[in-house]
């Protein structure tokens, strides 16, 4: 069911307008509503359905119940030449993280590097969006966040760390930039739930039960099972790095202290932490030379021999950019459950339905 196409085709602009309208109706400023909609719809267009417009319903409920503050604006708490600590004051995570990346880029413009750690944020959607902001300006970008624990450590009985997304983006001249957006789990929890919904088997290596044993019983997740860390101790170690730079260093909550934005009390802020980094590549190497070297690397990868039946190798993000360009020219064909979620959100917020706005 989760992957059934609705037959409904919307343009990127129509979808952004719809999301903006919902958020403005909840007291969010036009600018912040635009920012948040842009993150959600960009992710949808990249084909990252788990981090697309489906998230709007949860954000809208938190805005109504007070755990997200519609009138809050993030502020710089402390800063130096190449760094800042930002307090999100429980504004939408998208608003806070975008501002943080813009701050990091301004620092990098001056110093070559910029690092910003963030507290009092919330779920920020797809980490890749913020990394891409930097790549759009010729910079290296990286973004990460902590989250409520869902991922086991090797040997643990339960979840120790959040899915702790991390993303980076690197420009390739005027081509679409490299874009990797991943969690530290072997697979994202959303994929487990999608398989459970479709009554499909769960592959070995995805889940660990509450006794710390490998399990393929998807229905146990998330209450009685946790996600296995990618690469065992390596995924666990990268997850800790993210937890510390995002949560510990910023003054945000960390590990079990982080609230569940989806399942927790919606009137209480989650206090997620996040961190972003920008590096001004143009300071270090002439942009034309860097672009030429990146194009050489890309060509090498594209031309590398692949196993029988395997398509040519891609750089991270190439699939997402194909999805995006198709969505731009042909519109987005939303999935049934995405449409249902949007219509429910419109209904709950007393706004016009998506269907009616498309006429």
290: Cβ contacts below 8 Å, ≥ 6 apart: 281, 282
Strand bridging mode 75-80 / 83-87? antiparallel
Contacts of a second copy in 293-312 (CB under 8 A): 293-294, 297, 300-301, 304-308, 310-311
- Written as six digits, the tokens of 30 are 């036009």
Q: How far is the CB of 341 from a second copy (least distance, A)?
A: 28
Q: How many residues bind a second copy (CB under 8 A)?
A: 74
Q: Which residue has the tokens 């991943």?
A: 182
Tell me: does residue 160 bind a second copy (CB under 8 A): yes
Instruction: Say how far apart CA 111 and CA 268 lie, in whole Å.
Output: 38
* Residues 196 and 221 sit within 8 Å (Cβ to Cβ): yes
313: Cβ contacts below 8 Å, ≥ 6 apart: 301, 302, 304, 306
SS3 for 165-204 is CEEEEEEECCEEEEEEEECCECCCHHHHHHHHHCCCCCCC
Tell me: does residue 202 bind a second copy (CB under 8 A): no
Q: How far is the CB of 115 from a second copy (least distance, A)?
A: 5
Q: How far is the CB of 241 from a second copy (least distance, A)?
A: 6
Q: Which is nearer to a second copy, 39 or 253 (CB)?
A: 253
Pick from 48, 126, 225, 230 the residue near a second copy by CB under 8 A: 230
Q: Which is nearer to a second copy, 233 or 325 (CB)?
A: 233
* Residues 45 and 185 sit within 8 Å (Cβ to Cβ): no
Phi, psi dihedrals of residue 25, rounded to the nearest 5° = -60, -20
Counting Cβ atoms within 10 Å, is residue 157 exposed (0-12), middle (13-18) or buried (19+)?
middle
Contacts of a second copy in 167-196 (CB under 8 A): 168, 170, 178, 180, 182, 186
Tell me: does residue 265 bind a second copy (CB under 8 A): no
Q: How far is the CB of 168 from a second copy (least distance, A)?
A: 6
Which span sits near a second copy by CB under 8 A: 194-202, 225-233, 322-330, 340-348?
225-233
Q: Which is nearer to a second copy, 11 or 210 (CB)?
A: 210
Contacts of a second copy in 6-35 (CB under 8 A): none
- Written as six digits, the tokens of 136 are 């759009």
Contacts of a second copy in 310-339 (CB under 8 A): 310-311, 313, 315-316
Pick from 115, 124, 206, 324 the residue near a second copy by CB under 8 A: 115
Euclidean distance between the first and final Cα of the chain, in Å? Answer: 26
Q: Which is nearer to a second copy, 32 or 243 (CB)?
A: 243
């Amino acid at each position: 069911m989760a992957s059934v196409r609705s037959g409904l085709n919307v343009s990127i602009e129509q979808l952004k307008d719809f999301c903006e309208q919902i958020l403005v109706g909840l007291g969010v400023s036009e600018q912040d509503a635009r920012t948040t909609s842009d993150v959600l719809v960009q992710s949808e267009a990249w084909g990252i359905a788990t981090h697309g417009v489906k998230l709007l319903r949860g954000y809208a409920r938190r805005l109504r119940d007070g755990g997200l503050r519609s009138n809050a604006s993030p502020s710089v708490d402390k800063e130096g030449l190449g760094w800042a600590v930002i307090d999100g004051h429980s504004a939408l995570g998208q608003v806070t993280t975008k501002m943080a990346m813009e701050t990091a880029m301004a620092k990098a413009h001056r110093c070559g590097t910029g690092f910003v750690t963030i507290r009092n944020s919330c779920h920020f959607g797809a980490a890749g969006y913020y990394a891409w902001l930097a790549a759009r300006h010729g910079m290296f970008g990286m973004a990460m966040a902590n989250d409520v624990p869902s991922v086991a450590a090797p040997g643990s009985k339960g979840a120790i760390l959040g899915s702790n997304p991390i993303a980076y983006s690197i420009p390739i001249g005027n081509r679409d930039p490299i874009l990797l957006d991943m969690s530290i789990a072997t697979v994202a929890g959303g994929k487990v739930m999608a398989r459970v919904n479709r009554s499909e088997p769960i592959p070995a290596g995805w889940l660990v039960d509450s006794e710390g044993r490998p399990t393929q019983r998807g229905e146990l997740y998330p209450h009685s099972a946790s996600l296995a860390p990618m690469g065992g101790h390596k995924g666990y170690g990268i997850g800790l790095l993210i937890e510390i730079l995002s949560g510990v260093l910023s003054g945000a909550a960390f590990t079990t202290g982080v609230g569940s934005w989806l399942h927790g009390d919606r009137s209480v802020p989650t206090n997620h932490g996040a961190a972003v980094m920008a590096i001004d590549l143009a300071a270090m190497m002439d942009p034309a030379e860097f672009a030429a070297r990146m194009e050489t690397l890309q060509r090498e990868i594209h031309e590398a021999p692949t196993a029988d039946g395997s398509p040519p190798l891609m750089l991270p993000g190439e699939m997402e950019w194909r999805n995006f360009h198709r969505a731009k020219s042909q519109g987005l064909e939303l999935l049934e459950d995405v449409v249902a979620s949007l219509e429910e959100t419109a209904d709950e917020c007393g706004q016009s339905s998506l269907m009616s706005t498309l006429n």
